[in-house]
Amino acid sequence: MNVLLDIIQVLLNVLWWIIVVQAILSILISFNVINTHNDFIRSLYRGLMTATEPVYRPIRKILPDFGALDFAPFVVLVLIGILQGIVLPAIARNTGALFI
């Protein structure tokens, strides 16, 4: 069970970084700091959006529309923090596994 929890922890860390990079890139594109005419930037942004959109979609259905502001990444980061800080350690304690 410990290995499974470690894998989940690593996947949550990877997802956290993908969301952070996608959010920063989105802000930079919104303020025209980064040019989307660059093929690398456009393909990177499209790939990050493809990876994060399935996670954001259910949250966007629940959240009210804030216009140009998208709080879905923030909500997902908070949920990942809750999973890593509370849920996974509780599961590890209840299964008797050491989890750090």
Q: pTM for the complete prediction?
A: 0.83
Q: Does residue 73 sit within a domain?
A: yes
Q: Does residue 53 sit within a domain?
A: yes
Q: Does residue 39 sit within a domain?
A: yes
- Which residues is 69 bridged to in the sheet? 66
Q: Does residue 29 sit within a domain?
A: yes
pLDDT tops 70 at residue 97 = no
Residue 32 DSSP symbol: T
The whole domain housing 85 covers: 2-95
The interaxial angle of helices 2-30 and 88-95, nearest 10 deg, is: 180
The tally of domains found in the chain comes to 1
Nearest alpha-carbon partner for 21 in 32, 11, 31, 29? 29
Compute the mean pLDDT over every residue in the chain, rounded to the nearest whole number. 90
Q: Does residue 33 sit within a domain?
A: yes
What is the reported pLDDT for 63? 92
Q: Does residue 28 sit within a domain?
A: yes
